[in-house]
Amino acid sequence: MTLLPSDRALVPFVSVQHMMGLVHEIGIEKMLLDLATEIEGDFRRWESFDKTPRVASHSPVGVIELMPTSDGQMYGFKYVNGHPKNTREGLQTVTAFGLLADVETGYPKLLTEMTLLTALRTAATSAMAARHLAPEQSRCMAMIGNGAQAEFQCLAFKAVCGIDTVRLYDIDPVATRKAARNLQDSGLTVITCKSSQEAIEGAQIITTCTADKQYATILTDNMIGSGVHINAIGGDCPGKTELHRDILMRSDIFVEYPPQTRVEGEIQQLDPDHPTTELWQVITGQKPGRRDGRQITLFDSVGFAIEDFSALRYIHRAIQGTDLYVELDLLADPDDPRDLFGMLGRARP
Amino acid sequence: MTLLPSDRALVPFVSVQHMMGLVHEIGIEKMLLDLATEIEGDFRRWESFDKTPRVASHSPVGVIELMPTSDGQMYGFKYVNGHPKNTREGLQTVTAFGLLADVETGYPKLLTEMTLLTALRTAATSAMAARHLAPEQSRCMAMIGNGAQAEFQCLAFKAVCGIDTVRLYDIDPVATRKAARNLQDSGLTVITCKSSQEAIEGAQIITTCTADKQYATILTDNMIGSGVHINAIGGDCPGKTELHRDILMRSDIFVEYPPQTRVEGEIQQLDPDHPTTELWQVITGQKPGRRDGRQITLFDSVGFAIEDFSALRYIHRAIQGTDLYVELDLLADPDDPRDLFGMLGRARP
């Protein structure tokens, strides 16, 4: 009689240390490219997924969310919190972990940290969307908000869209210096700016990623010229937006999953029937993306469960044959499945 | 500079082995009693919880569910699958794990196996409900369905309600023999029976816990005399019931959370406005439980997130000062919360 759990009871677990090891083993730019491809592939088969808005538990200081989805073969979900006040206490605004499971048996197949992985998949999604929406030959991006997500965004746009210059701005110059330092050996030309206005000069792509839970106005209408692509990723929960309403009115707006974006995205400022285009329909060719050089395109991104699903499946594949995970004894799996109690009895010291 | 994760990044993890160790350290009957007290306490303050029906992802062969809740201080959720066909493949019908987090920061505080813990909390909930609903001086329980949950139910009713005799029946006699063997040193008088009819003879409490996903009829109307308490825990998803509708019509029905039970419980067979009583209101004294000796009381239990929340909080407390957990590097927690990328950079091999 063995007291060791059977293989079926073991779930591979990728810790933060292991995830960092995996990023370095694969190379961050290749991983961002791979993730963009993986996510685009799942957007292309959007209709095969169970979709539901995230399940949110709000409190006065933040939100805890579960984001499940399934394609009928695999099931994935992410746990993620959003607590803007956390940074003031030395904690992350966003932490996350996720799980992939087999729909056929319900047994988990992977548990992984997703704080890093969320930063990677968000950046990959942004850049993948820009590949369909930004002006051709975009080379310069304004990066407004230089917090935890900023460098990942910059590298994804380099790897996926061919951006060679980033113009950084944050209301806190310390954050801008941090991002510039982190990007100094990236191959990007990095320009630090003293205002949003300065940051967007000459940029074909404007990424906004600021974190305060309030109706903010990072960009006002008079700042935005024609022809740019705006990648708005910071407005992602009720009461949190970044762009002036007038910019939205001049833009063609692309979203992930409308029932979620209407509540959480920039478009919470607009009428519920304001026209938007679902990104997956652009990717499949059902709807046009960018039509001309003067159009302002806006990707109103709030993050959707399918992006996490793609990332989870990618990690599950990527760790095979590596030592970048450990096996967790997460599931009870007695030899006789009806004899859970007997398994407990045999474990008596 | 250290590459070790900070304490804040570490989440205590209770494996199946550790959970079994904890059960033996505390003693299973004491743990069932403790859990019944813990769960009853939370039912007593039912109105302080965020309540939502579980978030289910159905497939032709089973279901994967997330069950979140929060009391404003702590947040908990359980991942649980239900795949009745799994036993035929040597797998568990139900496996589960759960997480407790701090609402103030969104940071997880405990990750634990919940396959065993769910069996324990389900049994504790059943017995706690029976303490309010079963005839006084109940000593004999029929246990119909002798699968993975059966022994836990029997021991909970012994510890919490003073049951001294159990009468076991399962359509598969192998399951009955397994349960009888597991209970032989429990202090319970164990009687194995050849039919449901035989099992319920002389029983004041009837527990049904069978697993097939179908409209089954474990008990028919003519079998049930007056004055019994029925603890129906096997009918717990759409299309899965155990009792004949006529029994329901003769019973006073008590439920956990009506919006969920209407869909998943025995009462899915009844009109949506058929009267039921919420168990928490019996516990607080707002509604009567058992009124007389002839009444048939029925606890139509499907399992609710608050029961898992109580169990998670209990385990979180119980492991303090023990070595029955390990710390998982689940969260990224850089020294500067805005410098996630820098943390990654410093981990370069």
Residues B92 and B115: beta-carbon distance below 8 Å: yes
pLDDT at B132 over 50: yes
pLDDT band at A214 (very low <50, low <70, confident <90, very high): low
Better-predicted residue by pLDDT, A129 or A224: A129
Which whole number is the average pLDDT over B177-199? 97
B294 phi/psi in degrees, rounded to 5: -100, -15
The tokens describing B104, both together, are: 């103030």
pLDDT at B190 over 90: yes
How close does chain B come to A226, measured CA to CA in Å? 32
- A vs B, Cβ pairs < 8 A, gives 253
State the pLDDT at residue B1. Answer: 34
How close does chain A come to B234, measured CA to CA in Å? 14
pLDDT band at A212 (very low <50, low <70, confident <90, very high): low
How far apart CA A94 and CA B229 sit, in angstroms, is 48
Q: Write the residue in B3, B28, B332 that is nearest to A92 by C-beta.
A: B332
State the pLDDT at residue B213. Answer: 59
How close does chain A come to B172, measured CA to CA in Å? 11
What DSSP designation does A68 have? E
pLDDT single digits (tens) A297-322: 999 999 999 999 999 999 999 999 99
pLDDT band at A3 (very low <50, low <70, confident <90, very high): very low
Q: Write the residue in A61, A104, A345 that is nearest to B182 by C-beta.
A: A345
Query: Which residues, 6+ apart, have CB-to-CB distance to A61 below 8 Å?
Result: A83, A85, B103, B104
pLDDT single digits (tens) B291-334: 999 999 999 999 999 999 999 999 999 999 999 999 999 988 78
Least confident stretch, A186-195, A219-228, A274-283? A219-228
pLDDT at B3 over 80: no
* Strands of B10-14's sheet in order across: B55-59, B62-70, B74-82, B96-102, B108-113, B10-14, B326-329
pLDDT at B4 over 60: no
Q: Do B338 and A99 touch (CB under 8 A)?
A: no
pLDDT band at A343 (very low <50, low <70, confident <90, very high): very high
pLDDT band at B212 (very low <50, low <70, confident <90, very high): low
Residues of A with Cβ-Cβ distance to B338 under 8 angstroms: 87, 146-148, 175, 178
What count of other Cβ atoms lies within 10 Å of the Cβ of residue A85?
16
Of A83-92, B18-27, B83-92, B209-218, give the range with the top mean pLDDT: B18-27
Domains of chain B: 7-116+306-346 (3.30.1780.10), 132-303 (3.40.50.720)
Which whole number is the average pLDDT over A232-238? 77
- Nearest-by-CA chain A residue for B80: A106
How far apart CA B275 and CA A163 sit, in angstroms, is 64
pLDDT at A5 over 60: no
- Percent of chain A exceeding pLDDT 70 equals 96
How far apart CA A62 and CA B260 sit, in angstroms, is 27
Q: Do B21 and A63 touch (CB under 8 A)?
A: no
pLDDT single digits (tens) A266-276: 999 999 999 99
State the pLDDT at residue A335. Answer: 79
* Strands of A55-59's sheet in order across: A55-59, A62-70, A74-82, A96-102, A108-113, A10-14, A326-329
Query: Which residues, 6+ apart, have CB-to-CB distance to B343 below 8 Å?
Result: A20, B332, B334, B335
Q: Is A71 exposed, middle or buried (0-12, 13-18, 19+ CB in 10 A)?
A: middle
pLDDT band at A217 (very low <50, low <70, confident <90, very high): confident
Q: Do A105 and B97 touch (CB under 8 A)?
A: no
For chain A, the average pLDDT equals 92
State the pLDDT at residue B2. Answer: 38
- Percent of chain B exceeding pLDDT 90 equals 78
